[in-house]
Amino acid sequence: MWRPSDPDCDWLTKVAIAHRGLHDVQNGVEENSLLAFEAAIEQGYAIEADVQLSGDGEAMVFHDRTLDRLTNETGSISDFTAAELNNIAFANGRGTIATLVQVLDLVAGRTGLVAEVKSGWSGNTRLVQRTAQCLASYAGDAAVMSFDPVQVAWLAHEAPDLIRGMVADGATQDDYPWLPLATRLSLREFRHADVTQPDFLSLDKHWLPCPVSRAYRKKRVPMICWTIRSEQEASDALRWCDQITFEGYLPKAMV
């Protein structure tokens, strides 16, 4: 294991994790909305939430880099201030885009929260820094993860007390067409491990099992997988990992 005194990651595997909250757009509950997070809490699930950086440096809870898919606005998240984004309504759901601070105030330690830092793969760490600032005084169970090793390495060096995780998949050219082969191989083979030192992994269900999952399983590093959409998928995935990130159905209680 990575640290002399390991962090308490037990909560990461106790209950299933609602992917972007327990969203149900047909009933007006959009992904990554306060309503979706409240619904997850009410059902007894943990929460996964995505964060993007606003134009004025705030951590906003939103998956896409642009507004087009989920709102009636267009343009990049980075083109708007936090206050402007906070007033933009979801096109097919109730509520507006929340800040990470607002989400933390809502959750208030009632369930575990995993924040995924969305990276532009530019080496910029402003978003992970702001995310860490938001979580520094948070009393509940929380963790930060990213596909981008630069973000996780920053956490390892600058915010070592925060639980940190690597999100990963097979890093194919289809998934990362903008990355050179050498970089994709580094991601796939976890060559960054010495600097990221992840406390847990979040792996693509299609990548299980793989050399990385087997190696970290031997180290007893907690492992969750995404995105599970049925009991059969959950059963298959739990042969290789400790917990699921799900959407589109309600998982049975898991120990």
Q: What is the pTM of this model?
A: 0.95
Q: Is 79 exposed, middle or buried (0-12, 13-18, 19+ CB in 10 A)?
A: middle
| Amino acid 187: pLDDT | 97
Does residue 183 have a pLDDT over 90? yes
Contact 22, 43 (CB under 8 A): yes
Secondary structure (H, E, C), 18-34: EECCCCEHHHCECCCCH
Task: Compute the average pLDDT of residues 60-89.
Answer: 98
| Amino acid 5: pLDDT | 44
| Amino acid 255: pLDDT | 39
Dump pLDDT digits (tens) for 96-114: 999 999 999 999 999 999 9
In angstroms, the CA 14 to CA 66 distance is 34
Task: Compute the average pLDDT of residues 203-223.
Answer: 96
Contact 151, 130 (CB under 8 A): no
Dump pLDDT digits (tens) for 218-228: 999 999 999 99
Pick the CATH number of 11-246 from 3.20.20.60, 3.20.20.190, 3.10.105.10, 3.40.250.10: 3.20.20.190
